[in-house]
Chains A and B, each alone.
Chain A
């Protein structure tokens, strides 16, 4: 092996060792534990695929899986498109644009617990939204977090909080597009949204793909919002996979079963990322071919 390669491995070794200990080892252990009955306090007992067959028959798991997919469908398209629109609007050299960028980014730096507690007040029976509805339209209080549509109320918080983060990614992408392209398009008669449709969107595809994958992974793993705002309720209507995993592991002390839930989540995320990457490659190929 070349000296250079050896040196490279030498430099990589500390990070790889730490990564192996804190990431790969726990991941492998979780795979092993998913085939056991384990309650943290006593040694794990090998039970083969029993946890997975139980998952298959578990109506609550089907429910939380459905909720998580609904969350994905509700959150990801908005988090892919809305920040792009915002980024285009804020990618101009106009006075005060920096202030707007900061304003949109503020929710990102607010801790989820603080945001969740605040939004609980906003959604509350005598909270801001219901107060306005009552004062302006004389409407009855809407059970935003206490009705069966509570998941949608939680989705809105995720969108509000993620908007600024993805907007910054898009802004970085937009600033890498040469201005001459827009000037040339303008000379060719492309104005308004057509300019963005034919220049911005195609050139931003890698960024759109990145945001889609990041927001989808984040949506599949949603936990804090649910924990702070609804605890999965009422009657499991806002319970998601990771919350269910947490509940099984740390409330019911069924670590083996919780690991099985985690393995399913891992497989879903893996497939999702592969599909996204594949679609991204196809789009890139077709762009270059055309």
Chain B
């Protein structure tokens, strides 16, 4: 019996040692299957002890529930692709491996500093930046022409003026997306600070009130669709593709979808830089790779994350997916300055912004709750249930109670 037990234990130990590294990505199959498989095979060749990497691609909408379930069950993967907004939820609950010491300073220096900083919470780095996108303004040239407009809007003030002109043609300018941080970012772009260093609400300032009033005015003047209150990014893309809106404020990677789903529309689609506010700041959105604390092979997991996000591999992925890399050297490639169709133009415009773009809302504890509170109160003002000032006062009270 003792021998039998020893054999079972030895078998378990062997299985543990041979367990392949597990890597989860967010909706990269099937478009990037070949590329990722090649990259992972290359890593295995360079690091034979890692074994064949087990790659699991998870649909975007399922990632949060799956990673939570896996972490709770103690079966979390070794490396996971998340967005910083969700990663921060795991980081604030100490579920991720701190990377400050695990990643050498020279390796950290390869990434754009603002993107590296966007993966820090409470002074601890919880993720490595991967692919990036800076929002651009995708516009329908025909609809702008019908509204007697010659250029796409560059500022929020332009956007409001153009929304009026476009509305007169029977169409809407755009659909703001309340399921993303787009509106929250507009507060920062218009000069508001969301929370103080102590974590207290500071958005109820003159700039914050002006930003809130901006959205309330757009809604109440019927310059944005009523669906703005309940719909989100997917609807914004659908409306643009259906020719119902003249503008789409999103990342350039969505231009590939427009070319595929609405080729005729892609022919009359132009790309302009991101809408800015008084601060003239542009926002960058980065995907990251994080390493759950439960990993049994932390060193290899860190190596894998750094390998996938190195200059060569990021450049290859960026070329395949019309994305931008988070490393400085890869972003210098001539691929990002090429001129061409709408998708190429989108990449060029987006890349041009990258050097000066920043993650305007760096991670902080309960960021998602702030967004929820502010949006709910703002919608109350949009529906004229309360004044804008009252909405911000209520949002302040609610946030300070969180």
Contact = CB atoms under 8 A, between A and B. Distances in A.
Interface of A: 39-42, 124-126, 141, 143, 145-148, 150, 229-231, 233-236, 250-253
11 contacts: A41-B93, A42-B94, A124-B227, A126-B244, A145-B230, A148-B383, A231-B230, A234-B383, A235-B229, A235-B380, A236-B376
Given A146-B229, A146-B230, A150-B230, A41 B72 contact: yes
Contacts of B64: 250
B68 interface: yes
Nearest to A250: B65
Given A41-B71, A253-B68, 14 more contacts: A40-B68, A40-B71, A41-B95, A125-B225, A141-B226, A147-B383, A231-B230, A233-B229, A234-B379, A234-B383, A235-B379, A235-B380, A252-B369, A253-B89
A124 B238 CA distance: 13
DSSP majority for the A interface?
loop
A253 B368 CA distance: 11
A143 B382 CA distance: 13
B385 interface: yes
B93 A39 contact: yes
Contact of A235 (B179, B244, B385): B385
Interface residues of B, number: 26
A148 B386 CA distance: 14
Interface in B157-184: 179
Contacts of B369: 252
Nearest to A39: B93
Contacts, number: 60
Interface string B270-309: 0000000000000000000000000000000000000000
Contact of B68 (A41, A146, A148): A41
A18 to B, nearest CB: 20
B331 to A, nearest CB: 34
B52 interface: no
A100 B283 CA distance: 56
Nearest to A146: B226
A125 B385 contact: no
Contacts of A150: 230
B316 interface: no
Contact of A143 (B94, B95, B226, B376): B226
Interface in B324-376: 368-369, 372, 376
B229 A234 contact: yes
